[in-house]
Amino acid sequence: MFLVPLVQYAQITVQGVVTDTATQDPLPGVSVIIKGTNQGTATDFDGNYLMEANMGDTLVFSYIGFQPKEVVVSGSTLNVTLDEDTTLLDEVVVIGYGTTTVKDATGSVSSVTTKDFNKGAIVSTDQLLTGKTAGVRITNNGGQPDSAPNIRIRGGSSLTANNNPLIVIDGIPVDNTNPAGVSNPLTLINPNDVESFSILKDASATAIYGSRASNGVIIITTKKGLTGEFKFNFSSNTTVSKVGKEIDIMNSNTFTRFIQEYHPEYTNYLGIDDPNTDVEDNLATTDVIEGRILSDTDWQDAIYRTAISFDHNFSARGSIFQSVPIRMSLGYTETQGLVKTSDYERITSSIKLTPRFFDDHLKVDINAKGIISKKNAIDEGGALGGAVNMDPTKPIYDDSPDNRFGGYYQNTVLDGQFLSLDGQWNPVAILKQRYRPERVQKLLANVELDYKMHFMPELRAVANIGVETSKAKVKEVYTDNSLATYRQDDTAIDPDPNYRFNPGVNYRENQDITNQTLEGYLAYEKELDGAITNFDVQAGYSYQNFRNDGNKEEYNYDTATGERFLVEDPQNPTNRYFNELNLQSYFGRGNINLYNKYLLTLSFRADASSLFSKDNRWGYFPAAALAWKIYEEDFMKSVDFVNNLKLRLGWGRTGQQDITGAVGYYPSLPLFEAGSVTSQYLAGYALYSAKPYNSDLTWEKAETFNAGLDFGFFPNNVLSGSFDIFYRTTKDLLATVPVAPGQALTSSFVKNVGETESKGFEINFNVRALQNEKMSLEFYGNTSYNRAEVTDLEDVSRITASESGIPTGTGVNIAYHTVGYQPYSAWVFRQLYDTNGNPVHGAFADFNGDGTVDNDDRYYKSLRPNWTFGFGFNFNYDKFDLSSSFRGQFGGQVYNSRRLTSGWVESAIPNNSNSLSNVLDFYNGAADINFVDVRGNVPFSDYYLEDATFLRCENIVLGYRLDDALPNVNMRFYGALNNPFIITKYNGQDPENFNAIDNNFYPRPRSFTVGVNVDF
């Protein structure tokens, strides 16, 4: 009895896991406090906590959106489940310059947090978000390790200006310009550091960001430290990837048969003198026909590989100096691409401190993220295109003693006294004999100070200072191989070291980017009694400066002497480039809550851009939104199954000035440039010529109307989601258009040309189908519809879509932005077919009936889909978890360029060379044998357009949680299939292509990942 008090109040180490009662998912960031004190900690990413307490203490567990729970300490292990508080709807949502809650959001905002992220083989941050929310279409341009994503929120608002959303990382709006050597800027953020995404869609939500928000905003928040003892996390995974689908081309046997049947005059190119020679049905790797060696090379297999990749991450969260929360992380990623030598390596580090001073009146957030990345950028056109076109009867290697190509086979021709490459280049040699390291070092850092005035706690002053800087180095090097030289009598001369095949450095680029951000604002928030329940207002200033400074060196070779020389631009002999852009803004916002039922938001931003002339520099962007919390009305009190029902109405105007990709940074300023030395009137004195400019350029303006309904029904929000409809118009479109002769200093230039409109709707929903203490099953889904139309282009009826080039000649495009049609629509002829359904070569519909098929008979067909969707499920049973996600699109078209380049009979025969090209396998229906050539109107036939509808399984993940595997150690093991299958009618390699031109496509990997996550 005397020992009881000692046992009751003995200090012990208490640990456990906090999970969601409904889903059994771990809850990160749960506050765990000893009741009556300020001593405590918070759960980590996997819901684990560890702290010192006394037997008999009461621990208070609290988490936003969940009912708090008090538990008495009775042992060293204390696992707790929290119930969702469906009446509060207090989940925090990050918005521009602040936060709100689900119940108080007035704009169209979607939140995607760690529990929602895609899992498996994740290289770049955008892959966490793909398919997770309606109205956000993320399409990468292939399966490269750092493949560039095309992110479109509600389809984008512009034609040829930038259509990417603004990306904000921990309060810093980042640059739209990628560093040299970087295809995907979101690979420069470690996905393991990301805590949540907030996607701002309508103008009432985005207008606070003004000129950079016409295409929506994605706010990325990274993980932060916790108060208490340090907790550590280590995660590691290994991924094995293979090509899912190759292009259906002919093997050596089939190709030889094809040449014998359709081009017997070229059989000698195969090494067969007699065109009637039979070829064995099944050629071995090397067969001998008429005494000649005939290889059987699968060139696609030769360039592809089974790729093995690794990803390792370590993080520590806790507090230093007793009360300063800190999180530090280190990550290493080594990713092999499916194509040989296509490698990507990345080292990331981050630190985040969130100290509080002066009794929490001053909050300080310090963020720093550093990265070093290196990749070998392959010649995709030469390797991928060559693997399709290369003659399959030719070998990969040539071990003959006079080979001057590093042991690789190359077809050659005698050019005077020199042996030159002829026809197709060996795609394996292109990969192995070319090395292009692209290295980037980047730092993203900021300090945010949030001070709550001592004399007036309702008033806060916030300042944010940040820098985004990068250094990039690119170098292209070719293997040093000597060319053999020959006399006129065809006898070899000893190799001359002065004659080289692309020796040494071929290209260099060095680049420095420095972007600076300075923002400050005052915010006042007040709780009141009466009609106005509460209100908050804020006003501030923003400064951003973007500076891009670099130089390039490009080399060429004198074929007569073999000497290498630097190619200099007469207009820019130093090969230096320099751009600078400055943005300055004033902004303000007010929120009013009436009777806790009606929410009103008003915002305004004024932006000035150095891109425009002084008279057109400022743009003004207002917005307003109103929300009605219907569930708070008296007449809804008796409706028990309704937890949330909120109607939202919004309007706003945003701007666009990002046309740097088209004309550089100074399109509205009259500038002069020095002429070349060949244009000097007096030797040594340069002549200057005027550069084209347009002083009338002004802001592109988008205006959006939005109506939405948020809902949550039945206990624990068994069914919840949102529905939005929107209408948007864009005026003063910035686009490159032709200029009439004599009216400018160029034939085409940027101007404000017209208008577009778009409309659509979005649905997001979640269904908690099953939930108890042991098991849970949740489904989610989203779908969206968006249709845009060009309504006016002033002096022209259409604008060429420069990204729609097809491989039939330089500058040949298939798509246009045309008045009365959807942007990016293909302008094509209607293909005619015979009674058996086979296309008739060169036969097209005469729509206007004038007896002649010409451009007047072409019609427009939209390439991009109007419908996109995503869905999936999460299932938990005890310590097992199973999840899967799917996404896809309905409609849209993709131009099958492989049928254009390799799907016609004459595409195999040589073009000014002595090499044959492989073709699609006509014998199994990969292309139509009726297509003889692609002359005239053939490339513009809608025969090449195919339905781009698809359903893709993004991932399937199975995991097992092993708690207390070791003292104070919890583990989760998992296996994941990424991109296991796709359902589509498309006959080509992959229907998912943002530009809708399937040409030299880097295949998306089909991969299997095994990994472990350890908390200790």
What's residue 292's pLDDT? 42
Sequence-ordered strand ranges (E) for 321-436: 324-336, 343-353, 356-357, 362-376, 412-415, 418-421, 434-435
CA distance 144 to 257: 35
pLDDT the model gives residue 500: 42
pLDDT tops 90 at residue 11: no
Specify the pTM: 0.85
Please enumerate in sequence order all residues whose Cβ is within 8 A of that of 677, keeping only pairs 6 or more positions apart, or say none.
Answer: 570, 686
Pick from 37-46, 537-546, 868-877, 992-1001: least confident: 37-46
Percent of the chain predicted with pLDDT > 70:
88
- Torsion sign (Cα): 196, 201, 207, 211: positive
Mean pLDDT of 276-302: 58
Q: Average pLDDT in the 476-496 region?
A: 52
DSSP 838: P
Q: Which residues contact 108 (CB under 8 A, 6 or more apart)?
A: 200, 201, 202, 204, 205, 648, 650, 706, 708, 722, 724, 726, 762
- In the Cβ-directed half-sphere of 522, how many Cα atoms lie within 13 Å? 6
> Which of 137, 167, 166 shows the shortest CA–CA distance to 153?
137
- Please list, in sequence order, all residues whose beta carbon lies within 8 angstroms of the beta carbon of residue 131, skipping any fewer than 6 positions away: 118, 138, 782, 870, 872, 885, 886, 887, 954
The answer to whether 354 touches 365, Cβ cutoff 8 Å, is: yes
With DSSP H G I counted as helix, E B as strand and the rest as coil, what are the percentages for the chain, rounded to 5?
10, 50, 40
- Would you say the C-alpha torsion 427, 429, 433, 437 has a positive or negative sign? positive
Summarised one tens digit per residue, pLDDT across range 955-1003 is 999 999 887 777 888 899 999 999 999 999 999 999 998 899 999 999 9
Nearest to 611 by CA among 564, 664, 558, 653: 664
Which whole number is the average pLDDT over 634-649?
91
pLDDT bin (cut points 50, 70, 90) of residue 809 is: confident
φ, ψ for residue 20, nearest 5 deg: -80, 125
The answer to whether the beta carbons of residues 469 and 443 sit under 8 Å apart is yes
Choose between 273 and 214: higher pLDDT.
Answer: 214
Q: What pLDDT score was predicted for residue 574?
A: 62
DSSP state letters, 78-144 = --EEE-B-TTT---EEEETTEEEEGGG--S-EEEEEGGGS--SS--SGGGGTTTSSTTEEEEESSS-
Q: Quick one: pLDDT at residue 676?
A: 62
Residue 417: per-residue pLDDT: 59
State the Cα–Cα distance between residues 550 and 473, nearest whole angstrom.
Answer: 10
For residue 479, give Cα distances in angstroms to 110, 404, 474, 500, 583: 51, 11, 17, 10, 46
The 3-state DSSP class for residue 595 equals coil
- Tell me the per-residue pLDDT of 188-223, one tens digit each, with 9 for 90 and over: 788 999 998 999 998 888 888 887 888 899 999 999
Does the pLDDT of residue 486 top 50, yes or no? no
Integer Cα distance of 738 and 821 in angstroms: 20
Query: Cα dihedral angle (42, 47, 50, 56), rounded to 10 degrees?
Result: 90
> In the prediction, which pLDDT does 784 show?
96
Question: Which string of DSSP letters, residue by residue, matches 735-799?
Answer: EEEE--TTSSSSSEEEEE--EEEEEEEEEEEEEEEEESSSEEEEEEEEEEEEEEEEEE-TT-SEE
| DSSP H stretches of helix in 354-401 | 380, 386-389
Residue 121 and residue 183 in contact, taking contact as beta carbons nearer than 8 Å: no
pLDDT at 228: 78
Q: What is the distance between the alpha carbons of residues 678 and 569, in angstroms, rounded to a whole number? A: 12
Pairing of strands 893-896, 997-998: parallel
* Cα-based distances in Å from 580 to 168, 212, 668, 700: 20, 16, 14, 20
What pLDDT does residue 285 have?
39
Question: Residue 385 gets which letter from DSSP?
Answer: I
CA angle (642 as vertex; 637, 648 as ends), nearest 5: 100
- Cα angle 47, 48, 54 (rounded to 5 degrees) comes to 130
Range with top average pLDDT, 263-277, 474-488, 583-597 = 583-597
- Kindly report which listed range (181-190, 312-321, 593-602, 948-957) carries the lowest average pLDDT score: 181-190
Which has more pLDDT, 592 or 743? Answer: 592
Residue 431 scores a pLDDT above 60: yes
Residue 938 main-chain phi, psi, to 5 deg: -55, -45
Q: Which residue is listed with tokens 């099958």?
A: 896
pLDDT tens-digit readout, 549-583: 998 888 776 655 556 677 766 555 567 888 888 99
DSSP code for 692? P
pLDDT band at residue 480 under the 50/70/90 scheme = low
Token pair belonging to 702? 């988008």
Sign of the dihedral through C-alpha 128, 134, 135, 138 = positive
Average pLDDT over residues 282-304: 64
Return the SS3 of 202.
Answer: coil
**Measured distance CA(822)–CA(695) in Å, rounded:** 30
pLDDT of residue 184: 80
CB 352 within 8 A of CB 223: yes
Mean pLDDT value of segment 801-811 = 88
Lowest mean pLDDT: which of 222-231, 671-680, 862-871? 671-680
pLDDT at 273 over 60: no
Please give the Cα distance from 248 to 534 (Å, whole number).
65
Q: Judge whether residue 678 has pLDDT over 90.
A: no
Question: What pLDDT is attached to residue 312?
Answer: 96
The top-scoring range by mean pLDDT among 1-10, 60-69, 269-278, 787-796 is 787-796
CA distances 665 to 163, 173, 577, 660, 661, Å, are 17, 19, 11, 5, 9
Rg (alpha carbons) of the chain, rounded to whole number: 32
Answer with the residue of higher pLDDT: 666 or 234.
Answer: 234
**C-beta separation of 654 from 211 below 8 A:** yes
Dihedral sign of CA atoms 792, 649, 164, 809 in order: negative
DSSP-based three-state secondary structure for 939: helix
Among 4-18, 959-973, 999-1013, the range scoring the smallest mean pLDDT is 4-18
Residue 224: is its pLDDT beyond 90? no
Share of the chain above pLDDT 90, in %: 50
Four-residue CA torsion sign, 821, 825, 829, 833: negative
Residue 280 has pLDDT above 60, yes or no: no
366 pLDDT more than 80: yes
Spatial contact of 12 and 55, defined as CB atoms under 8 Å apart: yes
Residue 359 clears pLDDT 50, i.e. is over it = yes
pLDDT digits (tens, 9 = 90+) for 683-718: 666 677 777 888 888 999 999 999 999 999 988 789
Q: Which residues, other chains included, contact 32 with Cβ-Cβ below 8 Å and sequence gap of 6+?
A: 18, 40, 41, 42, 43, 49, 51, 59, 60, 61
List the structure tokens of 33: 């406090």
Whole-number pLDDT of residue 291: 38
Token pair recorded at residue 162: 């930038």
Q: Which two tokens stand for residue 490?
A: 């065809």
Q: What is the phi-psi region of residue 931: left when phi exceeds 0, alpha when psi lies from -120 to 50, beta otherwise?
A: beta
- Entry field: residues in the chain: 1016
Q: What is the model's pLDDT at position 449?
A: 95
pLDDT at 282 over 70: no
HEC states along 454-503?
CCCCCEEEEEEEEEEEEEEEEEEEECCEECCEECCCCCEECCCCCCEECC
Res. 231: pLDDT tops 70: yes
Burial class (CB in 10 A: 0-12, 13-18, 19+), 553: middle
Other CB atoms closer than 10 Å to residue 666's CB: what's the count? Answer: 16
Q: What is the pLDDT of residue 487?
A: 38
Residue 77 or residue 957, greater confidence: 957
The better pLDDT of the pair 1002, 87 is held by 1002
Decide if pLDDT at 389 tops 80. Answer: yes
The pLDDT mean for the chain works out to 86
d(CA 688, CA 671): 10
Distance CA 261, CA 279 (A): 12
At 923, the pLDDT band (50, 70, 90 cuts) reads: very high
| Residue 269: pLDDT band with limits 50, 70, 90 | confident
SS3 333: strand
